Amino acid sequence: MFAKDELSDDAFLCGRLRLWQPKAGYRAATDAVLLAAACPAVAGEAVLDLGCGAGAASLCLGWRVKGLHLTGLELQPAYAALARENARRNGIAIEVVDGDLSQMPAVLRRSFDHVIANPPYYPRGGTASPTPGRDAAMRAELPLSHWIAAAAPRLRPGGWLTMICGADSLPEVLSALAPRLGSAAVLPLAPRAGRPAGRILLHARKGGRAAFRLLAPFVIHQGDHHDGDRESYTPGANAVLRDGHSILAAFAQG
């Protein structure tokens, strides 16, 4: 468990959510909000968040779509406890299960309408973070194929996987979808117009047979360079990151 003096009180969605996060550990930011915005869940559906951390993605989704049945799986008990506290604090119901996706807890051997995931993106090796919790949350101990293999059996037929990950991992992700998942659509996330995408959002459907779609980039910042301390979000990014809107219109292209 984290002591209170180890936590910061952080605003998400322009203060619509308040989340406790460790000052020195892994801290959710825009990726969690973008992931939540990309999930096509509707009221009454069940959503599983693989590696939910302190609950940011699930709670952003639960704030936008009322009446969801939210479940999170988290490897680190201190983060799982924090997710439960953040859910209580914001009045959003979520079941948080302690466990490892490579050894799926028996309680999660059931079907969900959606699985969402923000896998760690730093490769193994290199310099570890001096904060063990941050290093465990951000260092990719399991390949992305394992995350997809864990998600696919949890999805009901026709259910959706929504994932955010590094753009350089796209070949690995696409090769891991078959044979259970298809109808893949990839939304590149570009920091600025004309810049290469560093991250991608993925939709894939269990049993889907539609052609693969690579969509036009979703641009996060206005202008061609950083200008002072202001955020300078594009109108679309501002609607998602600050006002809690979905990003689903970007997936409806073509």
Reported as a single tens digit per residue, the pLDDT across 125-153 is: 444 444 554 444 444 478 999 999 999 99
| Average confidence (pLDDT) over 102-111 | 96
What local confidence, expressed as pLDDT, does residue 254 receive?
57
Global pTM value: 0.91
pLDDT digits (tens, 9 = 90+) for 206-245: 999 999 999 999 999 998 766 666 678 999 999 999 999 9
What local confidence, expressed as pLDDT, does residue 231 receive?
72
pLDDT digits (tens, 9 = 90+) for 55-98: 999 999 999 999 999 999 999 999 999 999 999 999 999 999 99
Please report which confidence band the pLDDT of residue 3 belongs to, taking 50, 70 and 90 as the band edges. very high
Q: Per residue in 102-114, is it b (16+ CB within 10 Å) or e — as a string?
A: eebeeebeeebbb
